[in-house]
Structure 1
Amino acid sequence: MTAPATAAPPPSVAQKITDRLNDVLQPIRLEVANESAAHSGHMGDDGTGETHFAVAVESPRFAGLNRVARQRLVNRALADLLAGPIHALSIRATAPGE
């Protein structure tokens, strides 16, 4: 008798952020840091969750856009995650050569 197949664990919030920003922004550089442990106890978080993130992204899509427009692009790409598991998101968005 064979053991039943187990489903793969769902992707982490950090992986969802990475996948989404790669799809939407086609970045040259993307760094996603889970900073949740530094906020242990905040909003009931025990530091083991995925609630606080810092994103550094360099994308040609940001060329000619001001800081607010760049952040809006990132926020739009992550809207459902910002409404759910993400409590805080720090964004550093640059165009190539900046």
Structure 2
Amino acid sequence: MSIAKVMEEKLQKALNPKIIKLEDESFRHAGHAGANPEGESHFQLLIVSAAFEGVSRVQRQRMVYDILAEEMKGRVHALGLKTLSITEYEKSE
């Protein structure tokens, strides 16, 4: 199973997000430190969840990093995060 799929499944289970978009941006980092020629080393994540209501941005990021701790210790070198509550997401539309 791909790392992206594992990450998505873990986030789905833990946060039950309304929206989850995980993009592999490894191709943009070819030749940089931590880049894996096979990909799946650099990701960008948008996640919208009710679990983020009333939670600070830093705490949300810690939640995601805690869920994905195993992947961050391994092949995943970088993970850009945009974490929104459902209320914030609906206001931004």
TM-score (norm 1): 0.85
In the alignment, structure 1 residue 68 sits paired with structure 2 residue 58: yes
In the alignment, structure 1 residue 50 sits paired with structure 2 residue 24: no
1:59-93 deviation per Cα after TM superposition (whole angstroms, max 9, x unaligned): 00000001000000000000000000100000100
Instruction: Give 1:44 shift.
Output: 6.0
For structure 1, which runs of at least 5 residues remain unmatched after alignment? 1-10
Instruction: Measure, in 2, the Cα distance between the counterparts of 1:61 and 1:44.
Output: 31
1:3-34 deviation per Cα after TM superposition (whole angstroms, max 9, x unaligned): xxxxxxxx111111111100110000000000
SS of 1:42's equivalent in the other structure is coil
In the alignment, structure 1 residue 23 sits paired with structure 2 residue 16: no
Given that 1:27 and 1:60 are in contact with CA atoms closer than 8 Å, whether structure 2 keeps it comes out as yes
Given that 1:39 and 1:47 are in contact with CA atoms closer than 8 Å, whether structure 2 keeps it comes out as no
Richer in helix (by share) = 2
Instruction: Measure, in 2, the Cα distance between the counterparts of 1:89 and 1:44.
Output: 12
Larger radius of gyration between Structure 1 and Structure 2: 1
Instruction: Measure, in 2, the Cα distance between the counterparts of 1:79 and 1:59.
Output: 19
Instruction: Give 1:48 shift.
Output: 3.1
For this pair of structures, how many residues does the alignment match? 88
For structure 2, which runs of at least 5 residues remain unmatched after alignment? 89-93
Instruction: Give 1:42 shift.
Output: 1.1
Runs of 4+ in 1 over 4 A off after TM superposition: none
Instruction: Give 1:46 shift.
Output: 5.4
TM-score (norm 2): 0.89
